[in-house]
Amino acid sequence: MQCTDLPWTETERLATLASYGILDTPTEQDFDDVVRLVSQLLNVPIAAVNLIADGRQWFKSEIGLGVREMPLDDSICKFALLQEDGMVVPDTRDDARFSCNPLVTGAPGLRFYAGELLKTADGIPLGTLCALDMQPRPQGLDEQQAFALKTLARQVMSQIELRRVLREQELLLNQQARSADKLRSADRKKDVFLATLAHELRNPLAPIVSAAALLGVTQDPRAVRQASEVITRQARHITGLVDDLLDVSRVAQGKIALDKVAVDMRQVAADAVEQVKPLVERHGHRLDVDLPAEAAVTTGDHKRLVQVLTNLLSNAAKYTPKGGRIQLVIAVTPQELVVTVSDNGIGMGPELLANAFELFAQADDSLHRSEGGLGIGLALVKNLVTLHGGSIGADSTGAGHGSRFEVKLPRAAPGVVHP
C-alpha cells in the first residue's frame, strides 16, 4: 500500500494509529451521529468512519454495512490514503484498481465512492470518512456535498484527537496515583524505620547506663567485669547498627570500593558460619553446610562476600523458631557459582516476597523484633551481590513454609585465592 513519495512509512502510520487507542473500541454516539449525517447529506446508503489497520479495515462507526471490519484486500479506502486529499470514484467499474474487488464485482455491487482523509496534525492518515452507493454518480460530489464531507471529516478527527487527550490524561492521572501510593508507602516505611532505629538505639543504651552507674559505686572485681562486658557487648551492637546504616548509604551513593581478588566461596562460607555460630546455637538451630569438593572461585571482595552470607544466615536464624533447620549449599556450574541459604522458618507472604530486597522491608514478626534489626540487611545484600556482577532471588511457598535465598556469582578460573 505504501507509495514511495509519501512523507510517512506504513510502519509509522500504523504506530501512530495504535497510539490513539481507538481500534476495537465500542461504538460511540458522537461518531454515529456524524455517519448518519453523511448518509443524509450525501444521500448514500453506506457511510463509515473507516480506520485502515494492519491487514484489515475497521469501522469505528458505520451505517449500511452491518459489520465492524473487513479484510484490507477488499478495501477501497486504502487507496484514498495514498492521495493528498480525499478521493472520489464516480464509477468503480471504470477504475482498474477495483476490477477484482469482490465488493465491486459481487455483492453489494459498490459503484460510487467518496472518502475524505482523517489526518493527524503531522499529516499522517489514519483512515477515511467515506460514503458509498450501489449506483454510479458520473457527476461525483457537488460543491456543497464536498464541503460537508470535508467538514465532518475534520469533526471526526477532532473527536479522535480529543479521545486521545482524554486517554493520555487518564493514564497520567493513574500514573500520578501510583506515584502517590508509592510515596505514601515510602513515607510509612520511613516512619517505621525511624521508630525502629530509635528503639534499637535506645535498647542498648539502658544497660550501658545501668552498667556505667554500677561501675561508679562498686569496687567488686566480679561486678566490674560483668558491667564492662555489658558495656562492650551493647556498644558493639550500636556500632553494628551504625555500620549497617553507613554501608547502605555508601552503596546508594556508589562509594563502596571492592577489593576484588580471586576468592574461594568455600572459605567465605566457613568465615560466615563462624560469625553466625553463636546466634545459631542460641536458638538451638541445626545448620547444615554442603560445600563442593572442587574450588568455588569467583572474583570479589572477601570481606563483603562474607557480609552477604552472614546477613543471609543471620536472617534465617532470626526468622526461624527455636530448633529449626538452616541449610547453606554452594554448587558450581561451568559459568557461575550458586549459593543457596534456606530455612524452615516463618516464610514470606506474596507481598513481603515481592519487596524483600527493598530498603526497610522487614517481616512483622516477634521473632525478628526480639533479635533486633533495621530491615536493611537484604537491601544491602542485593546491592553487594550486584556490585559483584551477580544476582539474588528469594522464594517462599508462603507464611510458615520457610524461605530460600539464591545468590548467583560469576565463576572465575582457579588461581591465587584470597585466604
Q: Distance (Å, rounded) from C-alpha 26 to C-alpha 201?
A: 61
The sheet with strand 125-133 has its strands ordered as 69-71, 56-63, 46-52, 125-133, 112-119, 87-89
CB 398 within 8 A of CB 281: no
Shared-domain flag, residues 304 and 399: yes
Residue finishing a domain among 252, 276, 302: 252
For residue 163, the enclosing domain spans 10-171
* Whether the predicted pLDDT of 203 surpasses 90: no
Q: What CATH number is associated with residue 265?
A: 3.30.565.10
5 within a domain of the structure (yes/no): no
Shared-domain flag, residues 281 and 235: no
208 within a domain of the structure (yes/no): yes
- What's the Cα-to-Cα distance from 177 to each of 171, 181, 182, 351, rounded to whole Å? 10, 6, 9, 20
Split into its structural domains, the chain has a count of 3
Q: What is the pLDDT of residues 216-236, one digit of tens each?
A: 777 788 887 887 777 777 777
Shared-domain flag, residues 297 and 388: yes
Q: What is the pLDDT of residues 118-164, one digit of tens each?
A: 999 888 999 999 999 999 999 999 999 999 899 999 999 898 888 88
- What's the Cα-to-Cα distance from 387 to each of 362, 374, 383, rounded to whole Å? 23, 22, 6
Residue 338 belongs to what H/E stretch? strand 336-343
Mean pLDDT of all residues belonging to the chain: 84
Residue finishing a domain among 124, 140, 171: 171
219 within a domain of the structure (yes/no): yes
User: Grid coordinates representing 206?
Assistant: 539502658
Shared-domain flag, residues 145 and 202: no
354: left (phi over 0), alpha (psi -120 to 50) or beta: alpha
Shared-domain flag, residues 368 and 240: no
Identify which has the larger pLDDT, 195 or 92. 92
289 within a domain of the structure (yes/no): yes
Shared-domain flag, residues 312 and 351: yes
Average of pLDDT values for 184-208? Answer: 67
* Whether the predicted pLDDT of 183 surpasses 50: yes
Shared-domain flag, residues 35 and 130: yes
2 within a domain of the structure (yes/no): no
Shared-domain flag, residues 248 and 390: no
Q: Which residues pair with 22 in a beta bridge?
A: none
CB count within 10 Å of CB 344 equals 19
Shared-domain flag, residues 26 and 102: yes
Shared-domain flag, residues 40 and 77: yes
Shared-domain flag, residues 269 and 414: yes
Does the CA dihedral 161-57-31-131 come out positive or negative?
positive
Shared-domain flag, residues 241 and 290: no
Q: What CATH number is associated with residue 184?
A: 1.10.287.130
